[in-house]
Amino acid sequence: MALPASAVRAFEPPPQPERGAPACTTCPRWHSRVEAELAASRPGSVAASVCAGPPRGVSHGFNSGPLLEKTRKAPSSLAGAACAPLFALLSRGRRRRMHVLRRRWDLGSLCRALLTRGLAALGHSLKHVLGAIFSKIFGPLASVGNMDEKSNKLLLALVMLFLFAVIVLQYVCPGTECQLLRLHAFSSPVPDPYRSEDESSARFVPRYNFTRSDLLRKVDFDIKGDDLIVFLHIQKTGGTTFGRHLVRNIQLEQPCECRVGQKKCTCHRPGKRETWLFSRFSTGWSCGLHADWTELTSCVPSVVDGKRDSRLRPSRWRIFQILDAARNFYYITILRDPVSRYLSEWRHVQRGATWKASLHVCDGRPPTSEELPSCYTGDDWSGCPLKEFMDCPYNLANNRQVRMLSDLTLVGCYNLSVMPEKQRNKVLLESAKSNLKHMAFFGLTEFQRKTQYLFEKTFNMNFILPFTQYNTTRASSVEISEEIQKRIEGLNFLDMELYSYAKDLFLQRYQFMRQKDHQEARRKRQEQRRFLKGRLLQTHFLSQGQGQSQNLNQNQSQNPNPNANQNLTQNLTQNLTQNLVQNLTQSSSQKENRESPKHNPGKEQNDSTSNGANDYIGSVEKWR
């Protein structure tokens, strides 16, 4: 049978190239097709150098020496004769892929060899180092037999086990969300963030006696209705930071829309085009720059109603005027230590602040120049020294917090001739205390985390990020003598008394709310225990009833007498009823024992929260 022409050509010896022509090399380690075509057949040419073998350090793989020697020694064999022609029959792309595979095989074998030798060297050196350390530490103890080598092997095994456990933990829990793998047992307990911001709060002793209604501030704020939060912003009390928290850091169904480069944000109610927040960063200075209590209480209702009436038809004005009586305005503010606030305002005025745009409207009119003179003659008071700032008798920085929180209509606004100065100061201070106590919420700049906690508990609105307590401010960088500090305290004596009152009320509210949270958590744990105990009793009774019913069935099968069956059923029902009655009587007696102190004569019946409040107020009286 005649062979095909391709097969015949395959078994023929390869043709010898002409002198000077490029040789068709059969070297399996081609680096490129162009290099193979340009290889010369003379000894010492590129082809000869390529076919000489792999470089030093590379495993042979396909280029093993015995294979090449076998090919050279037996050129007349079938494999040697068919190698080059069969390889030449392949397409150019196929041959290129084969060369790439051979090259990768050589590089992979080189990497594996280097990795194996490197790991072996690393393990050997690690073994020697650990052995040396172990022999230094535990050398005196390893005195029996071959104890040193055994201990070295044990230590090496423990180290390798620890490394393996660390790798497994990284694969199982790569992020920080796995709370169980943080090894709390080896770390110190996390301090209370509310106590850590001020160490003196742990030694707080109340000075004022407040009622339960003064301490419990729980506002049913309806953001979808007509309720409105009004922020009274006093200068240099940290109100700017708190105002940004209100518009950018609260979890809401419809968050405020804040655009880049704009201070004001749009804070609409869900599904409405009405605002739920009246502040600098939501509505702007609609009632004047840094409006006080007197201005806001007379301005906010008219401003809100004016914005609403501008969008309504005249036929609906009367309806909304009637509904405005049910509108709730919740006033909030932030206070600060009077000395720090005074120094901060002085530094702000030194930089050119004037607050000329403040209206100071009281009783429907602004003050005259005789009632409220200016402390400077130029455009601003920039660069003024502290002594000049304190010497001005008309400086509104003196007792600013009392003035902005009190009702100025009670003292004739800014007319100082209405009543004596001593009586005027007393009325202003009492008015500021009353307004502050009846506000929905107030915070202190020196207690940022507690301020956040009380706001969240009061309005049932949570912040996204926690507040940050800054202990270094511009006021803290001002170094003053003790004499100047006493003079500043004398100029702000009303603010000093108001701040002492506010701090006492603030910390008592905080402690009261924390105690209430602890009582609520304890009550939930008790309810869970009662529920689990009831389920356990229920399963016990069911298993007992099933066992007695099985005994009854067995007795029925053994005793066909109907009278005996009736006696057994009666006994079963009696046993079950007796068990139920005993359990009920025990639970009722326990409940009576718990409620017995509530039914004593001379005492009122209060709920759990009122008992907690009475306990807290009683403890306050003991502290006093």
Q: Catalytic amino acids?
A: 290
Euclidean distance between the first and final Cα of the chain, in Å? 123
State the Cα–Cα distance between residues 40 and 374, nearest whole angstrom. Answer: 103
| Helix/strand/coil for 332 | strand
What DSSP letter does each residue of 473-486 carry, written as one string?
A: -TTTT----HHHHH
State the Cα–Cα distance between residues 74 and 244, nearest whole angstrom. Answer: 89
State the Cα–Cα distance between residues 49 and 35, nearest whole angstrom. Answer: 11
Phi and psi torsions of 308, nearest 5°: -75, -45
Nearest CA-CA partner of 171 in 181, 161, 156: 181
State the Cα–Cα distance between residues 49 and 67, nearest whole angstrom. Answer: 17
Tokens of 496: 């000093």
Tokens of 107: 């590089």
- Buried b / exposed e across 263-281, counting CB within 10 Å, b at 16+? eebbbbbeeeeebbbbbbb
How would you class 406 by CB atoms within 10 Å of its CB: exposed for 0-12, middle for 13-18, buried for 19 or more?
buried
How would you class 14 by CB atoms within 10 Å of its CB: exposed for 0-12, middle for 13-18, buried for 19 or more?
middle
How would you class 69 by CB atoms within 10 Å of its CB: exposed for 0-12, middle for 13-18, buried for 19 or more?
exposed
* 441-444 and 329-335 beta bridge pairing: parallel
State the Cα–Cα distance between residues 364 and 313, nearest whole angstrom. Answer: 28
